[in-house]
Amino acid sequence: MGLVSWEQQIKHFTGANASTNGEEYTLLLFDNRGTGWSDTPSGLYTSQAMAYDTLALLDHLDWRSDVHVVGVSLGGMIIQELARVADLDRFSTFAFLSTTPGRVLFPWSTMYLFLKLAFTQDLEAKFHLANSLLFPSKWLEQPYQSSAVDPDYPPNRVRTNLDFVREGGRIRTPFARLQTFNGFLGQLSACLRHSTSAACLEPLSKHPRIRCLVLTGTDDRMVPPVDSLDLASHLAAPILVFSGSGHVLPLEQASRLNLVLHKHFNGEETASF
């Protein structure tokens, strides 16, 4: 989903209004190959190749210790592969959001909407198609609630969660770029061919220091919640299930997720959230 999904986490962990009790975080957010302003190589992608992209960026920045890794959807698949190809000693935590250990089988209704979204050119139609895939309709209709006053989302324009999603898109449009069909096909290929077994993830699950956490929503249409349960089993990791939530937890459950991640990074109990 690219950089646009993490706006609420950026605001929580960085800047003058950060809610981290004085702790300092440096955030690295980037568009994977095939989306945003990153390159779109031709051909089919794999989650492992994209993990090597991530590793190259970490090496370039010389991030070699105390790294907390969070991935959602395809990003969660990529960081599974990252744990296989990188030196695990550089990492402190992993958080896998709305993702799968592999061979995800989309329901036909979801696959139909997914393909329709790829071929639709009208931006308003794309907006509604994407929303139907990513968010529960009940949540979109609910009044927008924020834990703090946010000038980016004034109450005269943002009354419902649908308004919130729409306004966020409007704010980001000048800085965004539509995904090309090649990028869509490459990333879809990576999703459909991704597969990690419990044996593949054993070095991570048995690492004496690294903490792992799996999170999912009960109403996720993109990645069935049972896939997250399977991943948690592979990792012998706790799983946190957000009742009534869809695929984009960083937006839909921003306040709660931020608290969970903050506690996870610090090694605190997250089950009560």
**pLDDT (tens digit per residue) in 214-258:** 999 999 999 999 999 999 999 999 999 999 999 999 999 999 999
How many secondary structure helices (H) and strands (E) does the chain include? 12, 4
Position 119 in a domain:
yes
44 Cα distance to chain centroid: 21
User: Which pTM value belongs to this model?
Assistant: 0.93
Q: Is residue 271 part of a domain?
A: no
Largest CA distance in the chain: 53
Q: What is the CATH number of the domain that holds 203?
A: 3.40.50.1820
User: For 52-56, 200-204, 266-270, which range has the lowest pLDDT when averaged over its residues?
Assistant: 266-270
DSSP E strands in 107-233: the ranges are 211-217
Cα 115 to Cα 2, 66, 112: the distances in Å are: 19, 39, 5
pLDDT at 126 over 60: yes
Any domain includes 205: yes
Once rounded to an integer, what is the mean pLDDT over residues 73-100?
A: 98
Q: Rounded to whole angstroms, how far apart are CA atoms 11 and 257?
A: 13
The model's pLDDT over 153-167, given as tens digits with 9 standing for 90+, comes to 888 889 999 999 998
Q: How many domains does the chain have?
A: 1
Q: Which residues, including other chains, have CB under 8 Å from residue 80's CB and lie 6 or more apart?
A: 47, 51, 96, 99, 101, 194, 196, 200, 201, 231
**Higher pLDDT residue, 115 or 225?**
225
248 domain residue, yes or no: yes
72 SS3 class: strand
Range of the domain at 220: 3-265
What average pLDDT does range 137-161 have in this prediction?
85
Give bridge partners of residue 216 from the DSSP assignment.
241
pLDDT in tens, 2-39: 566 788 899 889 875 666 666 789 999 999 999 989 99
pLDDT, residue 123, reads 83
* Residue 273 covered by a domain: no
What is the distance between the alpha carbons of residues 8 and 11, in angstroms, rounded to a whole number? 5
On whether residue 151 sits in a domain, the answer given is: yes
Q: Identify whether 239 is part of a domain.
A: yes
Task: Report the distance separating Cα 159 and Cα 161, nearest Å.
Answer: 7
Domain-embedded: residue 272: no
